[in-house]
Amino acid sequence: MSQPRQPPAIEAYGVRLRPFRLGDVGDIAAGCADPLTQRFIDSLPSPYTEADARWWVTEGAPAAVAGGGAAYAIADPATDRLLGTVGLSHPVPQRGQAEIGYWVAPWARGRGVATAATRSLAAHAFATGTARLELLTHVENAASQRVALATGFRPEGVRRAAAPLRDGGRRDLTVWVRLVDDPPGPSTRPLPDLPGGRLTDGVIMLRRLGPEDGDETYRLHIDPEVVQSRVPPVPAARDEVDRRCRAAEGQWLVGTAAAMTVLDAASGDFVGNCTLIYDQPATGQAMLGYSLLPRWRGRGYATRTVTLLARWGFDHVGLSRLWAGTLPENVASQRVLQKAGFRREGLLRGRLPGAAGTRADSTVYGLLPKDLAG
């Protein structure tokens, strides 16, 4: 791989990539001290000062370029003010590989700056000999994951404990990759966003599970009646629930699961959770699951939830088949599935982990598009 050579400036997609200047120090310090930047880039000093920014301009960025990488200020073409930074690091010449990374200042977010800068630098890297670019994101950094998808990167999995935390410990990183011969344009998403951000039949509403749902979701999954149908049947831990809520959008974006909150459409009250797990993309099959607080049962809300989720799976995801499993004794859940059009397909013995190291059977139900009720 030829060493990346940084030209004086690259202008494309509405942004300018240029070398850093001492006049950028104030904006770099402000951008890197921002709480959101600090949250997702653990390698930054904390607190981040103008002295740190000056070191980056005079020593850090030149060292990155001398080491075979690239370091650019993202600037507004009209004013030349710094909007963020983008660069290439960890070059592996024998593999034709490098890692691309960026941050965007608070005053420039929501304008497509990261997407434009990533597209520009990726094109430059490929034109100068790079064959494979990696982009690593925090598993909870959905905004950065959307940039990866918009610029044609594809998810390749999670690199466990890949990044050291500023205060100790380590965090997982989602790996996104773009190859020099990948088709242009955004990557195809297995699980699209909900149309208008929600699904509703006028009685219930489904929307993406998020960090704001932690309290209610925890209350749901420690309810004794709900715990009986959990796998295994033990109450959820609070930190487990919070992690799930924070990471839900990321799992949706990589195409593994679409976790949703069920709300009463009239009052907006929390009803429960439901999830579509895309377990077999190659065959167009996904699994469906749901849990409702006991106070909302007996009103047809569970059947409405299953029906709405299934219809979205068939009409928008393009699924060919859905399946669901229940404990053999969970007759109420089996009735819900049957009302939605699912058919009983058999019993899988000892499929699920039960209480105290035991195993539990699972009754399996299947749904095809032609079977869906309503």
What per-residue confidence (pLDDT) applies to 318? 97
Q: What is the pTM of this model?
A: 0.90
> Is residue 12 exposed (0-12), middle (13-18) or buried (19+ Cβ within 10 Å)?
middle
Provide the pairing of β-strand 132-138 with 97-104.
Answer: parallel
C-alpha torsion sign, points 316, 317, 319, 322:
negative
User: Over the stretch 99-126, which tens digit does the pLDDT of each residue have?
Assistant: 999 999 999 999 999 999 999 999 999 9
What per-residue confidence (pLDDT) applies to 4? 43
72, 93, 124: which is closest to 2 by C-alpha? 93
For domain 10-179, give the CATH superfamily. Answer: Gcn5-related N-acetyltransferase (GNAT) (3.40.630.30)
Q: At residue 114, what are phi and psi to the nearest 5 degrees?
A: -65, -40
What per-residue confidence (pLDDT) applies to 374? 65
Partners of 274 in the β-ladder:
260, 290
What per-residue confidence (pLDDT) applies to 1? 44
The Cα 338–Cα 302 span in angstroms is 11
336, 330, 328, 281: which is closest to 309 by C-alpha? 336
The Cα 208–Cα 210 span in angstroms is 6
What per-residue confidence (pLDDT) applies to 233? 87
What per-residue confidence (pLDDT) applies to 14? 93
DSSP string, 51-119: HHHHHIIIIIHHHHHHTT-EEEEEE-TTT--EEEEEEEEEEEGGGTEEEEEEEE-GGGTTSSHHHHHHH
The Cα 132–Cα 145 span in angstroms is 18
What per-residue confidence (pLDDT) applies to 167? 84
CATH number of 195-371: 3.40.630.30
Low-confidence ranges of the chain (pLDDT < 70): 1-8, 374
What per-residue confidence (pLDDT) applies to 356? 82
The Cα 245–Cα 219 span in angstroms is 13
Question: What residue spans in the chain does CATH classification 3.40.630.30 cover?
Answer: 10-179, 195-371
What per-residue confidence (pLDDT) applies to 7? 58
